[in-house]
């Protein structure tokens, strides 16, 4: 099965959070949540969600501040979901970089459609084009199936998250070559600072646990200390 998209819900009202979590989970999304702006910022940097659903009325800071902070270093899609109906709030959110603005109360079908559109738009415009690749990459027991959006090891689907898949597919595309930390951060997430390398380390640790027989002695993805990562050279079909 294809890798699931991960969605971060930033919402402090328990009832709404529970409702959205149930709806998104039942529609095939991985869901993480934050009930404050500070926690949201932490989760964005540590978990690399594929999309953020952001409420503006948070207990510790205004959602606009969270939006502004996220947009300073990443292009991941953000959908604002708010009870604020005034036009100036919508304009401000969109000007700050929100991809969409949904007013509460909202319909389930409408929210799901807007999520699909935001994610599709982001993938269509990925600079490296890894989502647009077709065919397969093979190296020893590893297969990256670009058409099915899957990664297999010895014939078994390893069930990567969307962000993990992005990393692996990009490394497969440039197999045998070292991709620098900054290049990967910039191309995949629009990040550019050294502080964000923790995002790569967290994702790579998870990837190796799924791909490698012994993560401490990898067979497929190698670390070039202080530089970046390199995929074992393979063949594209």
N residues, the chain: 237
Q: How far apart are CA 111 and CA 229, in angstroms?
A: 37
Report DSSP state, residue 132: G
Report DSSP state, residue 75: -
Q: For the chain, 237 residues long, give each residue's pLDDT as a single digit of tens.
A: 567 899 999 999 999 999 999 999 999 999 999 999 999 999 998 888 999 999 999 999 999 999 999 988 788 899 999 988 887 888 888 888 888 898 888 889 989 988 988 887 766 444 444 444 678 899 999 999 988 889 999 999 999 988 899 899 999 988 888 888 888 887 787 766 666 788 888 899 999 999 999 999 999 999 988 788 999 988 877
Q: How far apart are CA 145 and CA 142, in angstroms?
A: 10
The pLDDT value given to residue 219:
95
Buried b (16+ CB within 10 A) or exposed e, 127-136: ebebbebeeb
The pLDDT value given to residue 131:
43
Name all domains of the chain by residue range, CATH numbers in brackets. 6-124 (3.40.50.2300), 130-236 (1.10.10.10)
How far apart, in Å, are the Cα atoms of 32 and each of 10, 192, 195? 9, 24, 22
Q: Are the CB atoms for 215 and 208 separated by under 8 Å? A: yes
Q: Please state whether beta strands 51-54 and 78-82 pair in parallel, antiparallel, or not at all (unpaired).
A: parallel
**Among candidate residues 73, 46, 79, 4, the one with its CA nearest the CA of residue 202:** 46
């Amino acid at each position: 099965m294809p890798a699931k998209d991960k969605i971060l819900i930033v919402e402090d009202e328990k009832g709404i959070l529970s409702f959205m979590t149930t709806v998104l989970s039942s529609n095939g999304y991985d869901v993480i949540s934050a009930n404050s702006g500070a926690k949201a910022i932490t989760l964005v940097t540590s978990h690399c969600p594929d999309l953020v659903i952001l409420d503006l009325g948070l207990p510790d800071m205004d959602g606009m501040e969270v939006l502004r902070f996220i947009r300073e270093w990443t292009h991941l899609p953000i959908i604002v979901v708010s009870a604020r109906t005034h036009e100036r709030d919508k304009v401000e959110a969109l000007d700050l970089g929100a991809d969409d603005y949904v007013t509460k109360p909202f319909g389930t079908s409408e929210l799901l459609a807007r999520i699909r559109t935001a994610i599709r738009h982001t993938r269509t415009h990925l600079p490296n084009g890894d989502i647009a690749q077709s065919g397969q990459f093979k190296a020893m027991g590893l297969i990256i199936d670009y058409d099915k959006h899957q990664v297999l090891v010895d014939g078994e689907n390893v069930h990567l998250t969307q962000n993990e898949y992005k990393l692996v597919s990009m490394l497969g595309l440039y197999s045998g070559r070292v991709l620098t930390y900054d290049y990967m951060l910039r191309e995949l997430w629009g990040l550019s600072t050294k502080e964000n390398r923790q995002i790569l380390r967290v994702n790579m640790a998870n990837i190796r646990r799924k791909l490698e027989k012994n993560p401490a002695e990898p067979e497929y993805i190698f670390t070039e200390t202080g530089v970046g990562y390199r995929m074992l050279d393979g063949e594209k079909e």
